Structures are given as C-alpha cells and as structure tokens.
Chain A
Amino acid sequence: MLSRVADSLYWMSRYLERAENTVRLLDVTMSLMLDTGGSNVETRWQRLVAALGKPAEMDWNGSIEEMAKKLVYDHLSPASVIYCLNGARENARQVREEISTEMWQRLNRLYHQMHLPRAQSQFSANMSDQLSMVIDGIYLFKGTTDTSMIHGQGWQFIRLGRYLERAYATATLLEVYQSELFPAQERESSGYLHLELVGLLRCCTAFEAYCQVYTADLSPERMLEFLVLNREFPHAIHYCVAGTREAIEGIQQAGGRRPPEELKAAIGKLSALLGYTSINEILAGDTAGFLHNIRGQCLHIHELIYRFYVHYSIQSALTV
C-alpha cells in the first residue's frame, strides 16, 4: 500500500473519531447544563474545552449557544466538528480509489448534510437532532467500512487511527475529570454528583456497559478502573491499546513488513502497563501523572508509526 494512502486512511479515521468524541462531549455538556444547581455554565464549558485538549479560539464568550455553534460549525477552527468532518472527507477524497463506493457515499452524504445552510441557521433550535445526526452518520460509516472494505492493510490503518485517537481522547478526558471532579465528591450533594458521573460515562457511551459490570452503584474509583483498565469495553484505554496492537500485527499479516523492535516495544510496554497495574496502585500514586504518561506514550507510538510506514528515508529503504 502506498505510504501516502496509508497516511490518508489513518487520518480520515482519526478525524472521524475526533468529530464523534467532540459531538458526544458537547451533547453531554449541554444536557448537564439543564440542571443548573451544580457547576455553573462557564465551569462546564472550561471542562469541556480541557477535555478536548484545550484548543485555541474556544474561549468562553458568555453565550453557550454561540459557543456550541462555534464548536460545531466554525470551519476555521481545527477543534470544530465540521473541521474534522471536512478533514476526514478530504482525506477520503484523496484515496477515493482505495475505499469502497459505499463508504464514500456515506461520508459524502454526512458532509453535505453538515453543509446545508439550514443545518447551520437552525442549529440552536435543533441542536440535539443535529448532534445525533452526526453520530449516526459516523456510526453508519464505520459499519459500512467494516462490511464493504477488504480487511487488508488499508482497513488496519483505519483501525489504527481509530484506536489511537480514542485511547488518547479517553485519557485526556479522564485526566480532566480526575483533577476537577473526583476531589469534589465530598463537597457536592449526591444528586448533582450523580449527574456529573453519569455524564462522564455517557461521554464514552459507557453508562450501560458500566452498570452491567458494576451495577448502577457509581463510584469514581470503579469508573476509573472501568474506563482505563477494562479489556472488553471499546472506549476503555486498555481495549484501545489492544486494538492498536492488533492493527499493527494485522498490517504485518496483510503482507506488510515486520514492525521494528522499537515500535513493538513501545506498544508492548503500554499494554503491559495497562494489563498489570491495579486500580489501587493508580489511585495510590499520581493518578493525573499516570494518565498523562499514557497520552505521551500514545504520541510516541504515533511518531514511530510515521517514521516506519510513512516518512521513512529512502536510503534506509534501499539498503533493506
């Protein structure tokens, strides 16, 4: 597979995952704001922005409607949903011959729905519908991808992008929540705290899954355990890292080169960390530092993937 094509598929997938994450976080934040008794509107907005990695130009201006619209439709801001969707489509367009026609049509339809003039002008009135439209569009795209595309290298690069982006996003989200919300559990009255905790789970579509494992008894420690260490839940960091590892093995099995020791080591190290650390150890130590370290390792893996599959030097390739 051409390096440029792998690069485009990887980023198409990352952009879509990012758009999905942003939409879900925004949706949860907006519905939490209905209950005015807890944290105030601005605090919630700041937390949302922090969970998105503190993008520039998302400074609070006093109007939640305007901010929400900006986060969805400001095509000049790299954090916005529309920017991510445009980026995904532009990447897909550059590898139009590699993805299936069904995938392209699905993505293209979502793009055109987002660009309808009335979608933007009536956003405030239909926010919830609009946001679920985006999520639905992305789900349909993922389903179409899995059923209509050869599960070869290209598909593995799509998975790679998806899981790496998601691992990073979940880690960022938890880092923000653990510093702002978990210490607050003694202070807040239980009703509002409950809403906040459900909100956190819903940001990862994890509420029902959590209940199945732990019952509806919400405790921050268990939630952290679930979202970091669970091996079976698709938004848990451990699951995402396992997915990343499988994707890299899949690339090799689909006729690719053996990944270098450095890349295998980086992924193995992160898997081991998540596989053999207990929640008590995480809580006893520097929890924020632990999550921050995971993000750093994700970035390192991304760089190694680039150095090996996409931007390798020609000299090194000729001597092999």
Chain B
Amino acid sequence: MELETLYGDYSLDQAFDEMREPSGEVRAPYRALAETLATLPAGELQRRKQSVDLAFLTQGITFTVYGRDEGTERIFPYDLLPRLITAQEWDRIERGLTQRITALNLFLRDVYSDAKILADRIIPRELVYSCKHYRRQMRGLQVPRNVYIAVVGSDLLRLNSGEFVVLEDNLRVPSGVSYMLTNRRVMKRSFPQLFARCGVRPIEHYPQLLLATLRSLAPEGRPEPNIVLLTPGVFNSAYFEHTYLARQMGIDLVEGRDLVTHDNIVYMRTTDGLKRVDVIYRRVDDDFSDPLVFRSDSALGCAGLFNAYRAGNVTVSNAFGTGLADDKAVYAYVPRMIRYYLNEDPILPNVETFLLSEEKDRKHVLANLDKLVVKAVGESGGYGMLIGPHSTALQREEFARQIEANPRNYVAQPTLEFSRAPCLIGDRLEPRHVDLRPYILFGDKINIVPGGLTRVALEKGSLVVNSSQGGGSKDTWVLE
C-alpha cells in the first residue's frame, strides 16, 4: 500500500512516538515492520484483522457485558501491530523491576513483622496503618519462603524523554496475562515472516514458570503439592483468563463452593471424596476470600481458609494484605524503600506524586487541579480518577470537596504525556497512547518473561488504557 495513504494524517508532537523519530523517520527497530506494511496490498491488514476477530469469537476469547436479558459477549479489543522493545531497553526494565519487587516484598515482610522501616521513620506509621488494604491478621505470620507477592503486574509508562517510569505496582491479583499469550499466538499467525525476521524473545513458557513458582511455595512436607486456581466464578470479567491459565498449567480451577476446611486443612470436593489442597493461586480479592476473617457477606471464598493458611497447611498466593504496598500513597515511598532495604539507587524512577495528606502538597494540588491527575489511593482499573485537563469545573469542585474531607484517600500526579504507538484505525495507522505491563513471578527467584501486555487507549487522545474503560492491547516484542 502507498505509504502516504497508510500513514494518512499520522501526527507527531512532543509525545514520544514508539515508531517514529520527531523528524518522521522510522526508528531502527521498527524498520522491518514499516517495510512489511509497505508491501501489503490495500485492505490486507483489515482482512487479517477480520480473520483474527472471527477466531477470537469462535474460541470464546471474550468478556461479557452483563445488564441486559442475556449477557452480551464482546471480543477483547486488540491491535494488530506489535509494539517493539529493544534488548537494551528490556535489560533496564528487567533489572529495575527485579530491584523494585525485591524491595516491595521486603517491605511487606518488614511491616507484617518487626516494622523497622516505620521505627526508623522512613515511612510514616499512620500512612501504613490507615491503609485500607493493611491486614492486621497478617502480623507475625510466617509465609512460605517469605514470599508475599508471587505474581505482580507493574504498569510502566514511557515519558517524552524516552525513559520508562513505574506508574503503579499491582500486587493483589493482576490480570491480563492471558491476553499477552493470546496476542502472541495471533501475531505469529498473522505476521509469520516479520516475526521470524525481527528475532523476538519467546514468552510462551509463562504458564510453566507460574506453575514452578507456585510449586516452590508449597508448604513443607508436601512434595507433590495439589495446586489449584481459585476463581470468583463464571461472572468475573477475568474468568476467561482463569480457565485459560488453569488449563495451560494442568491444575484444577476451583470456586469457593468447591472448598471445605476441616481441622485447619483445606479440601476440595471431588467425585472421589475430599482431596487435600496445598497451594491456592488466588484470583479472589482479600475481602472475599474467607467470610470468617474478612467480609462476612461474601460467598465467593472458603470459610476457614485463613486459619488453615495461618497454620501453614496451605499456601495462598499472593498473600493476604499485599494491597498495602500498592496503595497509591505508599507508592510514593517506594524509591525510599529501595534505598533503605537494598542500599541501591532505583533503576526505574517513580512518577512524581503529591500526597494530599501533607499540607504543602495539598495546597499545591488544590490550586492546580486542572493540570493534575488525582487518584483515590485504594482504587484500580481506572476508577476514582480525575484527569485535570479533561475535567469540567463541576468535577473539579466535587473532587476538591472529597479531598478536603478525606485527604489520606487521594494522591495527585502531573498529567503525564506518555508514549504513543501506531495502531490500525480503519485502514490507516494512527498513534495511540500505550503503557506496558510486564508480569513478574517471584518463587525461589524472580522471573520476568520478556515483554508483557502493552495496553492501548484506543480512543483518540485518550490516556485511559484499562480494558474496563475502552482500552485494548497489543503484542509486545522484546527483540534479541
């Protein structure tokens, strides 16, 4: 296809473009992709996209939008063009995340045991103890191998300078990894020659790594652990992912109603009677995991699970109470944690964050609400956010009132101009904002499969990449 037609009005401005230099020239890693696109006949890209759409629909790679008579199923929105990351860039990301996750895990262990970091006044006590994800039940509890966070999906952004920064660490039940794996399968089928030519590092072994990670965390004296994945059930939006991972790992997918506890041992109900469970990969939030200890109105979990966990008879990953360390106010202290526990400088920087509980910061933020992004500390998925430049005066007033009423509940960050990558919109390429979510596994050591999920804000100009709010995804190719 004519390049002019394909690129159309592909606009470049100060935002970092993943594919093109500010001059418009294609960056070196993307040259093979640009050449391939130039050789495709008109309409070919769309034809490939349609064939993938159909495959997704028949394979049931969908999420369900409920609320009508019948659940309406939509396929997961994705973009057909890969996002490329060079070996050098990846090396930095990998080292940076390894460092960061190590420090975060040490922090959780510290806070739930001696709390030295609080005694040394590196992090204010009240910030930790007022966090809604702090679980006092975890105090003094020994977790296997001292690993609290076996599965993490940190969100990275690339700023105008080309540098990657960490936007948030998802330490509770990060999702999306099935889309990473599915995107890869699709891309290999849609662009086989290009894929081979680029030299892309594989990610397909993620399920085996996850299984090995879970196995390494099994309670002592259980050499052949029975590992299960605990799902909230078929109505959960990530249910497809739960079934996918269970199948790929060859483990049972259980719901709370399949589990019973007796004498602090967790069993699952099988056709052969009760079978002991040793490791639970938990995709249910803390709150819903055990009605005896957490929310008593939840039927999704298993009564008695926490006591069995405390007794050391079952491993639950991630541990309870890990949400403390991805509280958006605690986030501001991660660089200080890295220095405190590891005595190193952070490799991946944080985004500048204002804590609204601090008076100086609060004044600054309230005066500049139209320029900043305000986030509720305990929320995720793009909920509870005010994006200053895109907000109305009314919304700003409402947020200002909420901030005054409960300052601990909010943080603010500058509105980030983060990078854009070319996406297929209609029959043209247009730049859209993207982030990057690598998946970090922590068992006997830290493992990160090269790449992760690149999430795309498919709406023009939008900065919101969450799939619950109109975001899509791309395959991410880390080059050899």
Contacts and interface: CB of A to CB of B under 8 A. Distances in A.
Contact of B271 (A3, A86, A112): A3
Given A4-B257, A97-B247, A314-B260, A108 B60 contact: yes
B252 interface: yes
Contact of B234 (A93, A157, A312): A93
B268 interface: yes
B270 A1 contact: yes
A134 B253 CA distance: 30
Contact of A256 (B69, B70, B252, B272): B272
Given A97-B247, A318-B262, A256 B253 contact: no
A312 B272 CA distance: 11
Contacts of A6: 271
23 contacts: A1-B272, A2-B252, A2-B254, A2-B258, A2-B268, A2-B271, A3-B270, A3-B271, A4-B255, A4-B269, A6-B271, A93-B60, A94-B234, A96-B244, A97-B243, A97-B246, A104-B60, A153-B271, A251-B271, A257-B273, A312-B269, A317-B269, A317-B274
A75 to B, nearest CB: 7
A31 interface: no
Contacts of B233: 94
A10 to B, nearest CB: 10
Q: By CB atoms of chain A within 10 A, which of B239, B260, B273 has the most?
A: B273
Contacts of B243: 96-97
A314 B272 contact: no
B51 to A, nearest CB: 15
In the complex, the 7 A-B pairs of residues with the closest C-beta atoms, listed nearest first: A96-B243, A97-B247, A97-B246, A309-B271, A3-B269, A97-B243, A317-B273
Interface in A265-320: 309-310, 312, 314, 317-318, 320
Given A2-B269, A251-B271, A314-B274, 17 more contacts: A1-B271, A3-B271, A4-B255, A75-B69, A93-B234, A94-B233, A96-B243, A96-B244, A97-B244, A97-B247, A105-B60, A108-B59, A109-B58, A256-B272, A309-B271, A310-B271, A312-B273
A220 to B, nearest CB: 42
Interface string B50-87: 00000001111000000001100000000000000000
Interface of A: 1-6, 75, 86, 90, 93-94, 96-97, 101, 104-105, 108-109, 112, 153, 157, 251, 255-257, 309-310, 312, 314, 317-318, 320
Contacts of B271: 1-3, 6, 153, 157, 251, 256-257, 309-310
Nearest to A308: B271
Contact of B258 (A4, A86, A105, A153): A4
Nearest to B255: A4
Interface in B20-60: 57-60
Contact of A105 (B59, B244, B257, B269): B59
Contacts of B60: 93, 96, 104-105, 108
B273 A320 contact: yes
Interface in B117-148: none
B274 A318 contact: yes
Contacts of B59: 101, 104-105, 108
Contacts of A312: 269, 273
Contacts of A314: 260, 262, 274
Interface string B206-250: 000000000000000000000000000110000110011011000
A245 to B, nearest CB: 17
Contacts of B70: 75, 86
Contacts of A96: 60, 240, 243-244, 247
Nearest to B69: A75
Contact of A112 (B57, B234, B240, B254): B57
Interface in B261-283: 262, 268-274
Q: Which of B69, B233, B271 has the most CB of A within 10 A?
A: B271
Given A96-B247, A101-B59, A109-B58, A2 B262 contact: no
A255 B271 CA distance: 10
Chain B interface secondary structure, helix, strand, loop or mixed?
Answer: mixed
B198 to A, nearest CB: 28
A255 B272 CA distance: 8
Nearest to B70: A75
A257 B471 CA distance: 49
A113 to B, nearest CB: 10
A86 B69 CA distance: 13
Nearest to A309: B271
Contacts of B257: 4
B245 to A, nearest CB: 8
Contacts of B274: 314, 317-318
A2 B246 contact: no
Nearest to B249: A97
Nearest to B64: A93
Contacts of B244: 96-97
Most chain A CB neighbours (cut-off 10 Å) among B59, B247, B272: B272
Most buried by A among B59, B240, B269, B274: B269
A151 to B, nearest CB: 16
Contacts of A105: 58-60
A4 B257 CA distance: 9
Nearest to A109: B58
A75 B260 CA distance: 35
Contacts of A309: 271
A242 B257 CA distance: 33
Nearest to B253: A97
B258 A108 contact: no
B136 to A, nearest CB: 31
Contacts of A104: 59-60
Interface string B171-195: 0000000000000000000000000
Contacts of A97: 243-244, 246-247, 253
Nearest to B246: A97
B58 A112 contact: yes
Contacts of B58: 105, 108-109, 112
A75 B244 CA distance: 29
Contacts of B255: 4
Contacts of A318: 262, 274
Contact of B270 (A2, A86, A94, A108): A2
A308 to B, nearest CB: 9
A131 to B, nearest CB: 22
A261 B434 CA distance: 63
A148 B271 CA distance: 22
A108 B57 CA distance: 8
A112 B274 CA distance: 38
Nearest to A318: B262
A256 B243 CA distance: 24
Nearest to B242: A97
A1 B234 CA distance: 18
A62 to B, nearest CB: 27
A289 B268 CA distance: 42
